[in-house]
Chains A and B, each alone.
Chain A
Amino acid sequence: MKQIFNIIFSTQFFYSILRISTPIMFASMGALITSRAGVINIGLEGIMLFAALSGVIFSAASGSAWVGFLGAVVTGVLIAILMSYVALVLKSHITLTGIAINMFASGCTVFILYLVTGDKGISSSLASKVMPSVELPLINKIPIIGEIFSGHNILTYLSFLGVLFTYILLNKTVVGLRIRAVGENEQAALSVGAKPVKYQFIAMLISGVLAGMGGAYMSMGYVSWFSRDMVAGRGFIALAAQQLGQGTTLGTMSATLVFGTADALANNLQALQMPSEFVQSIPYVTTIVGLVVFSIAKQRKELKRIRENNSKTA
Chain B
Amino acid sequence: MNSKTIEKRFDVIRTILAVIIALLIALVVIIIVSDDPMNALYNFLIGPITNARRFANVIELSIPLMFCGLAVSIMFAADQSNMASEGAFYVSCAVTSVIAVLWELPAFLHVIVCLAAGTITGIIIMCIPAVLKAKWQANELVSSLMLNYICLYMGNYIIRTRVLDTSLGITTSLVFKETASLPNLIPGTRLHLGLVFVILAVILCYIMMYHTGLGYAIRTIGQNKNFAKYAGMGVGGVVLLTQVMGGALAGFGGATEMIGMYNRFQYQGLPQYGFDGMLIAIMAKYNPALVPVAAIFLAYIRTGADIMNRTSDVPYEIISVIQSAIIMLVVAKMFLNNLKHKQIVKYSKMQMEKKEAS
Q: Which residues of A pack against B, CB within 8 Å?
A: 42, 86, 89-93, 95-97, 99-101, 103-104, 106-108, 110-111, 114-115, 120, 232-233, 236-237, 239-240, 243, 275, 277-278, 280-281, 284-285, 287-288, 291-292, 294-296, 298-299
Contact of A100 among B149, B318, B324 (CB under 8 A): B324
Contact code string B50-69 (vs A, CB < 8 Å = 1, else 0): 00000000000000000000
How near does chain A come to B44, taking the closest CB pair, in angstroms?
14
Contact of A111 among B153, B321, B327, B332 (CB under 8 A): B321
Whether B358 sits at the interface, judged by CB under 8 Å, is no
B320 touches A108 (CB 8 A): yes
B149 touches A281 (CB 8 A): yes
Give the nearest-CB partner of B132 in chain A: A292
A92 touches B331 (CB 8 A): yes
Q: Report if A111-B315 is in contact (Cβ < 8 Å); known contacts: A86-B328, A284-B147.
A: yes
10 A–B contacts from the bound complex (CB under 8 Å): A92-B328, A95-B81, A101-B324, A106-B320, A107-B320, A108-B320, A233-B146, A233-B149, A277-B153, A292-B138
A100 touches B153 (CB 8 A): no
Instruction: Point out the residues of chain B lying under 8 angstroms from A287, CB to CB.
Output: 142-143, 146
A299 vs B136: C-alpha distance when bound (angstroms):
8
A91 vs B333: C-alpha distance when bound (angstroms):
5
Number of interface residues of B (CB under 8 A): 42
Instruction: Point out the residues of chain A lying under 8 angstroms from B332, CB to CB.
Output: 86, 90-92
How near does chain B come to A282, taking the closest CB pair, in angstroms?
10
Q: Report if A278-B157 is in contact (Cβ < 8 Å); known contacts: A90-B334, A285-B150.
A: yes
Whether B33 sits at the interface, judged by CB under 8 Å, is yes
A106 vs B331: C-alpha distance when bound (angstroms):
20
Contact of A97 among B33, B146, B331 (CB under 8 A): B331
Instruction: Point out the residues of chain A lying under 8 angstroms from B321, CB to CB.
Output: 104, 107-108, 111
Contact of A92 among B146, B161, B333 (CB under 8 A): B333
A95-B141, A281-B150, A291-B143 provided; 18 other pairs, C-beta below 8 A?
Answer: A90-B332, A90-B334, A90-B335, A97-B331, A99-B327, A103-B320, A104-B325, A106-B320, A107-B324, A111-B321, A277-B157, A281-B153, A287-B142, A287-B143, A288-B146, A288-B147, A295-B137, A299-B137
B317 touches A108 (CB 8 A): yes
Whether B278 sits at the interface, judged by CB under 8 Å, is yes
Contact of A96 among B160, B161, B325, B331 (CB under 8 A): B331
Whether B120 sits at the interface, judged by CB under 8 Å, is no
Q: Report if A120-B315 is in contact (Cβ < 8 Å); known contacts: A275-B157, A277-B154.
A: yes
B153 touches A291 (CB 8 A): no
B139 touches A243 (CB 8 A): yes
Contact of B282 among A96, A104, A288 (CB under 8 A): A96
Q: Which chain B residues in 108-158 approach chain A with CB under 8 Å? A: 132, 136-139, 141-143, 145-147, 149-150, 153-154, 156-157
Contact code string B255-290 (vs A, CB < 8 Å = 1, else 0): 000000000000000000001001100100000000
A89, A99, A294: residue with the most chain B Cβ atoms closer than 10 Å: A99
Instruction: Identify the 5 closest CB pairs spanning chains A and B, nearest first.
Output: A107-B320, A104-B324, A90-B332, A277-B157, A295-B136
Instruction: Point out the residues of chain A lying under 8 angstroms from B145, CB to CB.
Output: 233, 236
Instruction: Point out the residues of chain B lying under 8 angstroms from A237, CB to CB.
Output: 146
B141 touches A291 (CB 8 A): no
How near does chain B come to A108, taking the closest CB pair, in angstroms?
6
A186 vs B212: C-alpha distance when bound (angstroms):
38
Contact of A103 among B81, B154, B275, B315 (CB under 8 A): B275
A68 vs B319: C-alpha distance when bound (angstroms):
27
